[in-house]
Amino acid sequence: MTELKNDNYLRALLKQPVDYTPVWMMRQAGRYLPEYREVRKDAGDFMSVCKNAELACEVTIQPLRRFPLDAAILFSDILTIPDAMGLGLYFETGEGPKFERPITCKADVDKIAVPDPEDELGYVMNAVRTIRKELNGQVPLIGFSGSPWTLATYMVEGGSSKGFTKIKKMMFAEPQTLHLLLDKLADSVISYLNAQIAAGAQSVMVFDTWGGVLSPRDYKEFSLQYMAKIVDGLTRHNEGRQVPVTLFTKNGGMWLEDIAATGCDAVGLDWTIDIEKAKARVGDKVALQGNMDPSMLYAPLPRIEQEVSKILAGFGEGGTGHVFNLGHGIHPDVNPEHAGHFIESVHRLSKPYHK
């Protein structure tokens, strides 16, 4: 086991003392970097990068060559599980992911099985192992999955959606069918993330991108209870270390207390909630990750620095338990120089909070 040279990210998630606030960015490996665009162009398409361990490793490492980030995140996609279930994932240019065989009824749910993570999803585990070896203890590696509700939205809608009418029709007209699907997905996510941990992921994150489209009651029934099941089923110690778990629901600010009560180690915040108020609500129960508006990276460098300063001040003194991040993924047309200034500003301006 290679000793970690920089474990600030893991320490912050576990609310342990750190010298500065660690920072990484959602979608830090991706389209805003010209070197990523070159790799994808040569590979032919997005999934060809995901399914090649060497290419997935290369694009995972690329942002670390540019910036002193405190964590690497596996380069993959949240839709790997539905793809492994045989739904026929493909990508339409300009339209995002689509499925050839969406879920329309109980018979469709009955047909799908929990994928074997070392078989149907073995390419992901190969990528994790390759990345861990290449990182050589530089920073921790984050594994991830989509939440059951978020995966189900794509599987039932057949792709991206604005109105979520098909899945909400199933939710209200055939709730038993949807619960059957969500339960199967929760089992799949547990198996998938535990395999990532066994392969070398040192922290895991569940992305509930579309939880915020639900009412408070429906969120708890159709999203949160399945994330709680995942948290209960995860391997929480590996290689002599705790494996922290972060849950992130976009537009989920009204449910912070409920998310924190699942037993996760950290709650991801989008930019629509004030971090000072979020901290006051959850107290010392969990760490917080976030939460600068990704569009702030379009601003002039002094304005980016000003925003970093405000968020750090909002979290406050004794700032352990804070992982700085954007409130969602970095936009593809952001200038990498602005991302670099953001990261440098977090490191420099946070040090006084950790004396």
Give the annotated binding-site residues for substrate. Answer: 27-31, 77, 154, 209, 328
325-349 as b/e, with b when 16 or more CB fall inside 10 Å? Answer: bbbbbbeeebebebbebbbbbbbeb
The residue whose two tokens read 């089923």 is: 233
The residue whose two tokens read 């998630």 is: 13
Report DSSP letters for 94-149, one per residue.
Answer: TTEEEESS---SHHHHHH--PPPTTTTTHHHHHHHHHHHHHHTTSS-EEEEEE-HH
Q: What is the bridge-based pairing of β-strands 96-99 and 89-92?
A: antiparallel
Cα distances (angstroms) measured from residue 10 to each of 4, 68, 70: 10, 16, 9
Cα angle 300, 312, 283; round to 5: 145
Q: Which residues are catalytic?
A: 27, 31, 40, 77, 154
Q: Give the burial class of 69: count Cβ atoms within 10 A of its Cβ; 0-12 exposed, 13-18 middle, 19 or more buried.
A: buried
CA 169, 175, 179, 180 torsion-angle sign: negative
